[in-house]
Amino acid sequence: AHVRIIENHPARVVVHWRYALCDVLYKIARVDEDTGWGAWADEYYYIYPDGVAVRHFVVYGVEGCSITEPTVFNQPGEKAEDNVELAAVTMANMKGQTRTHVWDPWPSNGRTAAPFTNALPGANICVVNLKSQYKPFYIYEPGTRIIPYGGGLRELRTEYSRFPTWNHWPVSQVPSDGRYALVPDRVSSSAITSPEPPMRRRPEDGAVEGSFIMGLSDKPVGELAPLARMWLRPPKLKLFGQAFNNKGYSRN
């Protein structure tokens, strides 16, 4: 992996992160036998003064991928319930309608990649209800499917937590990507949702790309709808005079 700062000024900071798609043994995915090239990704984070960021991702060498999974990190002695409300997610759509989902019981039928029970139509705004003043939020492009963690009940250990929890990374003593937490003796991670934002395939190189907004807010989820509308449906720019030109709008 390699990280560099492309821009750093009062208007915004742009960070570029390039990395290989590899497993815990550092084996790169989908290596071409002829070229030796595997699957890589470029991510660009456009971070603005209010702390809101646009994450733009470009993934090479894959047909599709899971690009984001909002997750809670828990310190030794903590479970996910110590850091996130059981009413763990509040969703909103572009109309400002909202709906909160509770993880007691599991908020879907429990099957792999199942949708939320009583899902809000057109939901593309999601707040994870941490037990904190400022809560992480995500604004996705239209067509995004937001579901509870895609593993469903088969990856839930109900005797331990209402949230699927692992402690294999980054504190395991052996390379592993599948260790379920049974006691809160070390740092652990708990997956909350599995969003599926739309991805476009670039004709010039076959890479898949997409973007979404991420940030922290202490406002109700419905008040994020104006930000979503500004990003997704911006007003048309009108120019008067010759001092400036308009090269179009970019969601970055």
Query: Where are the chain's structural domains?
Result: 68-195
Give, as one character, the DSSP assignment of residue 231. H
Q: What pLDDT sits at residue 170?
A: 64
| Whole-angstrom distance, CA of residue 69 vs CA of residue 175 | 21
Question: Residue 10 is which amino acid?
Answer: P
Q: What pLDDT sits at residue 63?
A: 80
Q: What pLDDT sits at residue 217?
A: 95
The values of phi and psi at residue 9, to 5°, are -155, 175
pLDDT digits (tens, 9 = 90+) for 88-144: 999 999 998 999 999 999 999 999 999 999 999 999 999 999 999 999 999 999 999
Residue 53 pairs in a beta bridge with: 47, 214
Give, as one character, the DSSP assignment of residue 230. H
Q: What pLDDT sits at residue 169?
A: 66
Say what the pTM is.
0.93
| pLDDT tens sequence for the chain (252 residues) | 999 999 999 999 999 999 999 988 889 999 988 888 899 999 999 999 999 999 999 999 888 788 899 999 999 999 999 999 999 999 999 998 999 999 999 999 999 999 999 999 999 999 999 999 999 999 999 999 999 999 999 999 999 999 999 997 667 777 777 789 999 998 999 999 999 999 999 999 889 999 999 999 999 998 999 999 999 999 988 898 889 899 889 888
The values of phi and psi at residue 178, to 5°, are -150, 35
Q: What pLDDT sits at residue 154?
A: 94
| Whole-angstrom distance, CA of residue 187 vs CA of residue 172 | 9
